[in-house]
């Protein structure tokens, strides 16, 4: 294969929330696969908010920094175009972590701890779900609700960023387990979408009466708080947690641009006071631990019609910087936000 | 019994850390026990820092407020002077929650969830240990190290306020379990006392090179952080926690006077970042859950010579306000700080 393609590189480190101008689109030759390598055509790029951690100029805890000018990398679904590797054939669909580019060369033998690209069966579910319900976000929701949150039938969970890829799955998994699910999202459209997905109640954090909405949605408090956000949303949730509540934490998008210290006052004393007064349990986690069991359970729930997988699509690699930035500014999309780079067929 | 006695009442709500002038000593008649009541002579008052939660004018999460002018109440060891209750006889030693006064009338049938005063066998251990190693502080240390922290042999625990009643027990319990114990305390005398108790290493938070001392004491990081303090001490510990570390939290004396919000910057974003980056597990707990099993194990370790119970004594009820206040200002006592109100015999 010859010709040129577009790719997204890091133009400047993010200050606060990422902006489209932090990235640059470059036109480069399509790469050639070497021995035991393959050439992938990118179909979908998932603009994963966790990528933000790599975009700080000054390295912070938990981050591994990108170089300026380097090609961005993240979760994708691709189609094999050419393969010099016996395990993959042209036409295969795969999910992996590859370049934000129209094409990418991958060496399956040199994969990191996530393993080589995962082959997808398009007859089981749309391949794009490998980036959502049947991928990292689904596993993250499962791990948080089932394993870390230990949510039981009859209990109540409250989910922040509930209209997002992880949050919308967390609420649906809670319902599938026989629990009550309350979602927090911004804007009427998102809140309505959550009720359509089966959430029992919602609270709109963009409304001035958010705290009252939340109180009304949680008349007896919550047993589990699925934490995606931090900041003002969390300060409103904490007083509503029950004694012994669990707080699985898989993200905190309100703080991604803040670094280690935000503007005062210091909310850590109040956070401590809630932890002690109620015997709260807080645990940071990543979805990868849910493993295949999580994906199998979710696939079963999808089959039974208990779980749906909402997606929002935007088109073309030129849209990636804007789509990624929108994740941090409270966009209007519901479910997993994907950029479609090329049609599947 | 007739005559008068002294008692300590609340003179004003605390602003920040409690001051001796927040309390007042009153001379009042010794009370008379009624039907199924008994009169206790107070021997030891434990100046428990958790009492601070009741001294805010504006009620905060987890607190039940004292009335101005009311007699202070807290953990004590007393001797029965006169009894109209069949379960208690004059000369019995008991541990309970009674008035900060030289004498107190107690109705064992009307006790709260803690149960009636616990009778002590002075032949097993000094009765004052019922307020330390073989009482609430011992149970708290046990619950945090064994049940919440799940510390295993070969692991490393770091303990803040390590020279205090709970901290000194936590480190010794860790050693009894075959783990490595690192203590954080203020001042050379306290640090030396911790090494004498068997701690493997110490760091002095009052020294300018505290962070370096802590790093040197934890060359491979810590598996468990026993949290008593919060504030700057905790900010120095967090970067040294290992992936998957547990953080049992039984107190946060640096924040008791702060309320829900301290002066900026906001350290909650950095706290979140550590939780996520390392998959930390944080849990608030109270010692009461360790129950009799905790006390039995500690008694066994004391018998085997593996655990000692350091105490610091000051004398006389007039010393109570000063002793209580000193707990918040980094006093020089090691182990459980007790005020001896009367001799045991």
pLDDT digits (tens, 9 = 90+) for A178-216: 999 999 999 999 999 999 999 999 999 999 999 999 999
- Please say if the pLDDT value at position A282 is more than 60: yes
Q: Does B252 reach chain A within 8 Å, measured CB to CB?
A: yes
**Residues B269, A260: C-beta atoms closer than 8 Å:** yes
- Band (B302; pLDDT cuts 50, 70, 90): very high
Rg of the Cα trace of chain A? Answer: 20
Same domain, A230 and A147: yes
- Band (B63; pLDDT cuts 50, 70, 90): low
Q: Does A3 reach chain B within 8 Å, measured CB to CB?
A: no
A179 within domain boundaries? yes
Which residues make beta-bridge pairs with B23? Answer: B10
Burial of B60 (0-12, 13-18, 19+ CB in 10 A): middle
Across residues A119-141, what is the average pLDDT?
93
The answer to whether B8 touches B25, Cβ cutoff 8 Å, is yes
Across residues B266-280, what is the average pLDDT?
96
Same domain, B297 and B316: no
A345 within domain boundaries? no
Three-state DSSP class for A218? coil
Quote the pLDDT of residue A62: 56
- Please say if the pLDDT value at position B64 is more than 90: no
**Residues B265, A266: C-beta atoms closer than 8 Å:** yes
Quote the pLDDT of residue B8: 98
Instruction: State both tokens at B256.
Output: 């008791």
A229 within domain boundaries? yes
CA distance B45 to B100: 7
Taking only the tens place, the pLDDT of each residue in A80-105 is 999 999 999 999 999 999 999 999 99
The answer to whether A197 touches A130, Cβ cutoff 8 Å, is no
Three-state DSSP class for A70? coil
Across residues B18-28, what is the average pLDDT?
97
| Min distance A59 CA to chain B CA atoms (Å) | 12
Mean pLDDT, rounded, of chain B: 93
B113 within domain boundaries? yes
Looking at residue B42, which CATH number applies to its domain?
A: 3.90.180.10
Mean pLDDT, rounded, of chain A: 93
Same domain, B155 and B177: yes
Same domain, A112 and A170: no
Three-state DSSP class for A201? strand
- Please say if the pLDDT value at position B13 is more than 90: yes
Burial code of A75-104, b = ≥16 C-beta within 10 A, e = fewer? Answer: bbbbbbbbbebeebeeebbbbbbbbbbbbb
Three-state DSSP class for B139? helix
Taking only the tens place, the pLDDT of each residue in A229-254 is 999 999 999 999 999 999 999 999 89
**Residues A267, B278: C-beta atoms closer than 8 Å:** no
Q: Which is more confidently placed, A2 or B55? A: B55
Percentage of the residues of chain B whose pLDDT score is greater than 70: 98
Across residues A298-308, what is the average pLDDT?
93
Same domain, B56 and B184: no
**Highest mean pLDDT: which range of A63-72, A310-319, B250-259:** A310-319
* Sign of the dihedral defined by the CA atoms of residues A173, A114, A67, A323, in that order: negative
A291 within domain boundaries? yes
Burial of B19 (0-12, 13-18, 19+ CB in 10 A): middle
Enclosing domain of residue B184: 136-303
Within chain B, strands assigned E span 4-10, 23-29, 38-46, 73-83, 93-99, 103-106, 118-120, 156-159, 180-185, 201-204, 222-226, 241-249, 281-284, 311-315, 336-340
Quote the pLDDT of residue A287: 76
Q: Is beta strand A311-315 parallel, antiparallel or unpaired with respect to A281-284?
A: unpaired
Same domain, A173 and A51: no
- Please say if the pLDDT value at position B62 is more than 60: no
The answer to whether A18 touches A48, Cβ cutoff 8 Å, is no
- Please say if the pLDDT value at position B31 is more than 80: yes
- Please say if the pLDDT value at position A61 is more than 70: no
Same domain, B57 and B126: yes
B243 within domain boundaries? yes
Q: Does A86 reach chain B within 8 Å, measured CB to CB?
A: no
Same domain, A125 and A141: no
Across residues B141-148, what is the average pLDDT?
97
Same domain, A106 and A62: yes
A295 within domain boundaries? yes
Residue of B nearest to A253 (CA): B269
Same domain, B86 and B141: no
Same domain, B289 and B316: no
Q: Which residues of A touch B283 (CB under 8 A)?
A: 275, 279-282
The answer to whether A245 touches A220, Cβ cutoff 8 Å, is no
Q: Does B221 reach chain A within 8 Å, measured CB to CB?
A: no
Taking only the tens place, the pLDDT of each residue in B105-133 is 999 998 777 789 999 999 888 999 999 99
Looking at residue B151, which CATH number applies to its domain?
A: 3.40.50.720
**Residues B260, A278: C-beta atoms closer than 8 Å:** no
Same domain, A281 and A167: yes
Quote the pLDDT of residue A60: 67
Q: Which is more confidently placed, A111 or A6? A: A6
Among A283, A186, A165, which Cα is nearest to A227's?
A: A283
Of B63, B251, B272, the CB nearest to A255: B272
Quote the pLDDT of residue B60: 67
Q: Does A58 reach chain B within 8 Å, measured CB to CB?
A: no
CA distance A140 to A196: 22
Of A267, A274, A278, the CB nearest to B266: A267
B345 within domain boundaries? no
The total of structural domains in chain A comes to 2
């Amino acid at each position: 294969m010859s010709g040129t393609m577009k790719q997204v590189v890091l133009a400047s480190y993010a200050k606060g929330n990422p902006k489209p101008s932090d990235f640059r689109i470059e036109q480069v030759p399509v790469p050639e696969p070497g021995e035991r390598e393959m050439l992938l055509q990118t179909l979908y790029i998932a603009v994963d908010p966790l990528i933000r951690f790599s975009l700080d100029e000054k390295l912070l805890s938990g981050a591994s920094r990108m170089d300026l000018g380097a090609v961005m990398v993240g979760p994708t679904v691709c189609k094999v175009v050419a393969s010099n590797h016996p395990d993959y054939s042209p036409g295969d669909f795969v999910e992996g972590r590859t370049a934000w580019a129209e094409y990418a060369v991958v060496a399956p033998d040199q994969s990191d701890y996530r393993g080589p690209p995962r082959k997808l069966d398009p007859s089981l579910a749309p391949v794009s779900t490998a980036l959502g319900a049947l991928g990292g976000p689904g596993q993250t929701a499962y791990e948080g609700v089932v394993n870390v949150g230990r949510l039981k039938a009859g209990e109540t969970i409250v989910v922040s960023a509930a209209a997002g890829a992880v949050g919308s799955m967390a609420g649906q998994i809670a319902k599938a387990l026989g629990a009550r699910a309350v979602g927090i999202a911004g804007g009427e459209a998102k809140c309505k979408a959550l009720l359509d997905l089966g959430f029992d109640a919602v609270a709109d954090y963009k409304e001035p009466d958010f705290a009252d909405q939340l109180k009304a949605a949680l008349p007896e408090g919550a047993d589990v708080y699925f934490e995606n956000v931090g900041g003002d949303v969390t300060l409103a949730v904490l007083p509503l947690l029950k004694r012994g509540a669990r707080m699985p934490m898989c993200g905190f998008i309100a703080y991604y641009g803040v670094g280690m210290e935000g503007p005062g006052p210091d909310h850590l004393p109040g956070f401590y006071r809630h932890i002690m007064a109620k015997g709260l349990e807080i645990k940071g986690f990543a979805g990868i631990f849910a493993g295949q069991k999580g994906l199998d359970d979710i696939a079963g729930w999808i089959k039974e019609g208990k779980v749906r997988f909402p997606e929002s699509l935007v088109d073309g690699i030129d849209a990636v910087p804007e789509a990624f930035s929108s994740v941090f500014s409270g966009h209007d999309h519901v479910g997993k936000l994907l950029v479609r780079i090329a049609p599947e067929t």
